[in-house]
Amino acid sequence: EVQLLESGGGLVQPGGSLRLSCAASGFTFSSYAMSWVRQAPGKGLEWVSAISGSGGSTYYADSVKGRFTISRDNSKNTLYLQMNSLRAEDTAVYYCAKVAIVATIEDVAFDIWGQGTMVTVSS
Amino acid sequence: SYVLTQPPSVSVAPGQTARITCGGNNIGSKSVHWYQQKPGQAPVLVVYDDSDRPSGIPERFSGSNSGNTATLTISRVEAGDEADYYCQVWDSSSDHRWVFGGGTKLTVL
């Protein structure tokens, strides 16, 4: 069974840092691009970042560019999101998602999502 | 940046057909994906590439895309279809990114 399991969320003060992890199983992790999508309380979905299967290509939303870093360890089947200089508006549930097509990062749907991890930025 | 516009809410009686629209400039030239999200749960892909269904998604879910509007159609609506629905496209025009619509709350009366 294909599964994604996020961890690492929690309460952090404004200006602080947090690293999210997403453990993948049930598919050839290194063959698929991965993404992070967030959802603020009571709000809609917002795409955050994406990374190619090899890790050689990365994309970021303007709202997090320069503060967040996406990475992956294919030997551990794990996706990461390093979040620095956190702001109150970064408060959200963060989902990791797998793209639907092998060896593709652009113009593709997200077919598998994790259950999400909550990040709260507050003093 | 590219903007996708969805109605905040759509209501339909059980057994009827629900149509949820997603508006965008020349969206017909893009591939549109649709997600269903129930309260407290992660999104689920229900339609991809305008009109294809992932395995396990009922045939009652279908999609179309032309001009400036994409549409998710749910036939023979059931109480279990009550959820938020989001459209999504890839925006190649500005620094490569995915864009989501604001979401539509489907209420089954």
Q: Two tokens at A83?
A: 């979040």
**Got the DSSP string for A17-45?**
-EEEEEEEESS-GGGS-EEEEEE-TTS-E
CB contact under 8 A, A59 and B96: yes
Between CA B88 and CA B44 the distance in angstroms is 12
Cβ contacts of A58 on chain B, cutoff 8 Å: none
CB contact under 8 A, B95 and A62: yes
At residue B29, what are phi and psi to the nearest 5 degrees? -90, 0
Q: Shortest Cα distance from B84 to chain A (angstroms)?
A: 9
Cβ atoms of residues A71 and A64 within 8 Å: no
DSSP one-letter code for A85: S
Between CA B21 and CA A46 the distance in angstroms is 19
At residue B18, what are phi and psi to the nearest 5 degrees? -105, 135
CB contact under 8 A, B92 and A107: yes
Query: What does each of the 123 residues of chain A score in pLDDT, given as a tens digit?
Result: 999 999 999 999 999 999 999 999 999 999 999 999 999 999 999 999 999 999 999 999 999 999 999 999 999 999 999 999 999 999 999 999 999 988 888 889 999 999 999 999 999
Report the residue from A45, A109, A115 with minimal CB separation from B48.
A109
Residue type at A40 in one-letter notation: A
pLDDT of residue A105: 83
